[in-house]
């Protein structure tokens, strides 16, 4: 079989640096689409949540041809919570295109993805994107990137990286900042000149490692990964070296490769290509597909451990089962087991308390878990979830450790003092502060605990003008107690429908989450109290009607717009004695104990000192 020149590349960057936009341009300029094809923006972000949020959540593959080369492209997530996607994909590529914003420079997540690439010995290509920005500082950003390479221990060969400049949105890349770019040819040429195509290992025994999974309703579970050696064919009998060391027999029933965005069926695939295989129903990430007579397992794919956990509980509110299709423990268990097959950064355990129906689910961050919950909600699931908790650990000398994050904040100068004060209260330590024009750029090291519930407060404190980016940085000694939410909540005292008359009176006590005509139940949270204590209220009370009429008494009630919180904001807002009730139609906040007397009993137990 004739050997093909195959190069696999990954596009890596911080969130919103332009990765998916660059992949769009690469696909368009390589002739993947027909002349009359209707092309949408962010082609690779095919998931509904990815399109809505404008972020890449799942790593995805495509392939283009340039001259006599086949270039497989992996579009990776930029958000720290989905770094497990990057960790396993990076082993399948020959180089990475490191995309850096010409204004922002290297961000926390840039450091993470670059470190993984350098550890594997890859030689990156640096592309300074968005050079059309008015505040671009491309020359400084190149120096900052070089400094980052050196800090991460890059070799002399890795430090000799090519630098390109571009505007991904316009499909332009140029070799010098002063050039007049027209297309992506400088990038294509740099890739084929900088990277040696995968060597011809087709005569060696089969060796392929599965780096991601997919599912097809017709052919079942699919394993996706790089074919490191040999060839793989439809009908071939193989041995699977599992991640846990066990061996299993299998037969390949289908072989596919990428051409453009499509999955193309092949009789045989060759070494170097990214291949999709069918026929092995229990294939898992990290498994090695080997020749049946020559089993050589590859090094297991290790994923960093989760840092955050929450309880997924069966919904037992008075409205349970009225809006969702899947509401039982069995439904939730089956769906979480299915998610574990493809979401390698996730951990699921049954709750240790046998009296509570649910599971403890651990992930890499609030966004990682909230994306899962949002998908469950859209699929028709109904459940309740607890406040996110950080996962603590102990070191060799039994010192309690907690996860820490590096946070880079850019805010207008007038809000910097407020932000610094709040982060200090949350046990943060300032690492650096720079003045950039009319803005202040602050770098903090802060416990993950300190950032739970801070996002909304940050947006309010900076009037929506601040930018906060964060990255897990490791474990440090436990920093002590962190102040919780300052305000109490307004709690409904009965089952019913809210009335404008009652809500008008409650506005004096705080800010509301509900509008007139909203169905509520006892123990449901209907607003934020203006004071620190919780307050039980009746939002369903109607005005008593009389025959007496007087001027001014019956004016229309004008209510302020309610606070509408999305799923992430709801998870950040709740305290330990509260839950978020999630259904396909609504997101509600509630107390764990709906009855007032049960809540008092719980409070007494909490206040009782442990001897």
Average pLDDT value over all residues in the chain: 84
List, as residue ranges, the binding site: 16-21, 129-132
Q: Which of 81-95, 399-413, 512-526 has the highest mean pLDDT?
A: 512-526
Residues forming beta bridges with residue 474, ordered by sequence position: 404
**Which class would CATH give 5-194?**
alpha beta
Q: What does 217-232 look like in DSSP terms, one character per residue?
A: TTTEEEEEEEEEESEE
Q: How, if at all, do strands 95-101 and 125-129 pair?
A: parallel
The pLDDT of residue 352 is above 90: no
Tokens of 308: 């955050």
Neighbour count for residue 192 (Cβ, 10 Å)? 16
Mean pLDDT of 142-163: 91
Q: What is the pLDDT of residue 549?
A: 59
Please indicate whether residue 610 or residue 149 has the higher confidence score (pLDDT): 149
Phi–psi pair at 280, nearest 5 degrees: -110, 100
Please determine whether the domains at 5-194 and 207-291 fall in the same fold group of CATH. no
In terms of phi and psi (left: phi > 0; alpha: psi -120 to 50; beta: otherwise), the region of 365 is: left
The answer to whether the beta carbons of residues 405 and 448 sit under 8 Å apart is: yes
In terms of phi and psi (left: phi > 0; alpha: psi -120 to 50; beta: otherwise), the region of 235 is: left
pLDDT, tens digit, 9 for 90 and up, residues 393-405: 888 888 999 989 8
List, as residue ranges, the binding site for GTP: 16-21, 129-132
The answer to whether the beta carbons of residues 364 and 421 sit under 8 Å apart is: no
Task: Report the residue count for the chain.
Answer: 611
pLDDT, tens digit, 9 for 90 and up, residues 72-128: 987 666 444 455 566 677 788 899 899 998 888 887 667 777 887 888 889 999 999
Long-range pairs for 597-605: beta carbons < 8 A, 24 or more residues apart: 599/523, 602/577
Share of the chain above pLDDT 90, in %: 36
The pLDDT of residue 611 is above 50: no
Please indicate whether residue 19 or residue 508 has the higher confidence score (pLDDT): 508
Q: What does 475-534 look like in DSSP terms, one character per residue?
A: EEE--------SS-EEEE-SSEE--HHHHHHHTTTEEES--TT-EE-TTBEEEEESSSS-
Q: What is the pLDDT of residue 38?
A: 38
pLDDT, tens digit, 9 for 90 and up, residues 459-492: 888 888 887 877 778 899 999 888 878 889 999 9
Please indicate whether residue 291 or residue 80 has the higher confidence score (pLDDT): 291
Comparing 70-84, 243-257, 276-290, which segment has the lowest mean pLDDT? Answer: 70-84
Residues forming beta bridges with residue 165, ordered by sequence position: 128, 174
The pLDDT of residue 53 is above 60: no
Q: How confident is the model at residue 553 (pLDDT cuts 50, 70, 90)?
A: low
Q: How far apart are alpha carbons 583 and 569 in whole angstroms?
A: 16
The number of angstroms, rounded, from the C-alpha of 29 to the middle of its chain's C-alpha atoms is 29
Q: How far apart are alpha carbons 430 and 423 in whole angstroms?
A: 9
Q: How far apart are alpha carbons 74 and 87 in whole angstroms?
A: 12
Q: What is the pLDDT of residue 55?
A: 46
Share of the chain above pLDDT 70, in %: 88
- Host H or E run for residue 364: none
**Which class would CATH give 489-547+555-574+589-607?**
mainly beta
In the chain, the largest separation of any two C-alpha atoms, in whole Å, equals 97
Mean pLDDT of 557-585: 89
Mean pLDDT of 257-280: 88
CATH homologous superfamily for the domain 207-291: Translation factors (2.40.30.10)
393-477 carries CATH number 3.30.70.240? yes
Q: What is the pLDDT of residue 85?
A: 60
Tokens 């966004």, located at residue: 367
Mean pLDDT of 292-308: 81
Q: Which class for 576: exposed (0-12), middle (13-18), buried (19 or more C-beta within 10 A)?
A: exposed
Q: List the chain domain ranges.
A: 5-194, 207-291, 393-477, 489-547+555-574+589-607
Tokens of 496: 């019913």
The answer to whether the beta carbons of residues 393 and 448 sit under 8 Å apart is: no
Q: How far apart are alpha carbons 516 and 503 in whole angstroms?
A: 7
Q: Which class for 135: exposed (0-12), middle (13-18), buried (19 or more C-beta within 10 A)?
A: exposed
Mean pLDDT of 162-186: 90
Q: How far apart are alpha carbons 573 and 589 in whole angstroms?
A: 9
């Amino acid at each position: 079989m004739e050997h093909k020149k195959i190069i696999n590349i990954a596009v890596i960057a911080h969130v919103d640096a332009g990765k998916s936009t660059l992949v769009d341009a690469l696909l368009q300029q390589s002739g993947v689409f027909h002349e009359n094809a209707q092309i949408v923006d962010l082609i690779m972000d095919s998931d509904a949540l990815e399109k809505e949020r404008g972020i890449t959540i799942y790593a995805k593959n495509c392939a283009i041809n340039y001259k006599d080369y086949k270039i497989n492209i992996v579009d990776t997530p930029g958000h720290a919570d989905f770094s497990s996607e990057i960790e396993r994909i990076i082993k399948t590529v020959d180089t990475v295109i490191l995309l850096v914003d010409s204004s922002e420079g290297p961000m926390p997540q840039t450091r993470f993805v670059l470190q993984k690439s350098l550890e594997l010995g890859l030689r990156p290509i640096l592309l300074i994107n968005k050079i059309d920005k008015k505040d671009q500082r491309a020359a400084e950003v190149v120096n900052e990137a070089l400094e980052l390479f050196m800090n991460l221990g890059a070799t002399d060969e890795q430090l000799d990286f090519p630098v390109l400049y571009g505007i991904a949105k316009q499909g332009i890349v140029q070799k010098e900042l002063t050039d007049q770019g027209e297309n992506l040819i400088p990038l294509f040429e740099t890739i084929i000149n900088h990277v040696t195509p995968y060597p011809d290992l087709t005569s060696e025994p089969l060796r392929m490692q599965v780096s991601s999974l997919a599912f097809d309703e017709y052919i079942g579970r699919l394993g996706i990964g790089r074919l490191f050696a040999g060839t793989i064919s439809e009908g071939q009998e193989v041995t699977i070296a599992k991640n846990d060391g066990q061996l299993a027999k299998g037969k390949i029933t289908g072989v596919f490769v990428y051409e453009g965005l499509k999955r193309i069926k092949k009789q045989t695939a060759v070494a170097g290509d990214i291949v999709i295989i069918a026929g092995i129903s229990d294939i898992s990430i990290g498994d090695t597909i080997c020749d049946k007579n020559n089993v050589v397992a590859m090094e297991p794919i290790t994923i960093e451990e989760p840092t955050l956990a929450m309880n997924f509980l069966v919904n037992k509110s008075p409205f349970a089962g009225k809006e969702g299709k899947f509401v039982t423990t069995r439904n939730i268990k089956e769906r979480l087991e299915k998610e574990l097959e493809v979401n390698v950064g996730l951990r699921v355990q049954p709750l240790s308390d046998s009296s509570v129906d649910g599971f403890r689910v651990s992930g890499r961050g609030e966004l990682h878990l909230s994306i899962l919950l949002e998908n469950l909600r859209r699929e028709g699931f109904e459940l309740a979830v607890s406040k996110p908790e950080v996962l603590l650990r102990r070191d060799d000398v039994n010192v309690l450790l907690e996860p820490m994050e590096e946070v880079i904040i850019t805010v207008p100068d007038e809000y910097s003092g407020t932000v610094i004060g709040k982060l200090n209260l949350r046990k943060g330590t300032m690492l650096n502060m720079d003045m950039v024009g009319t803005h202040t750029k602050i770098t903090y090291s802060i416990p993950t605990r300190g950032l739970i519930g801070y996002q909304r407060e940050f947006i309010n404190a900076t009037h929506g003008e601040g930018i906060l980016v964060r990255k897990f940085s490791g474990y440090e000694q436990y920093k002590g107690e962190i102040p919780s939410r300052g305000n109490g909540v307004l709690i409904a005292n009965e089952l019913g429908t809210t009335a404008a008359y009652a809500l008008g009176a409650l506005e004096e006590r705080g800010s509301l989450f509900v509008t007139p005509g909203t169905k509520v139940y006892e123990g449901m949270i209907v607003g934020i109290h203006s004071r620190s204590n919780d307050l039980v209220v009746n939002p369903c009370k109607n005005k008593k009607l009389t025959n007496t009429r007087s001027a001014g008494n019956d004016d229309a009630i004008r209510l302020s717009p309610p606070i509408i919180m999305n799923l992430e904001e709801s998870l950040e807002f709740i305290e330990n004695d509260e839950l978020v009730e999630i259904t396909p139609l609504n997101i509600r906040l509630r107390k764990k104990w709906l009855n007032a007397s049960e809540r008092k009993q719980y409070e007494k137990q909490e206040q009782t000192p442990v001897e």
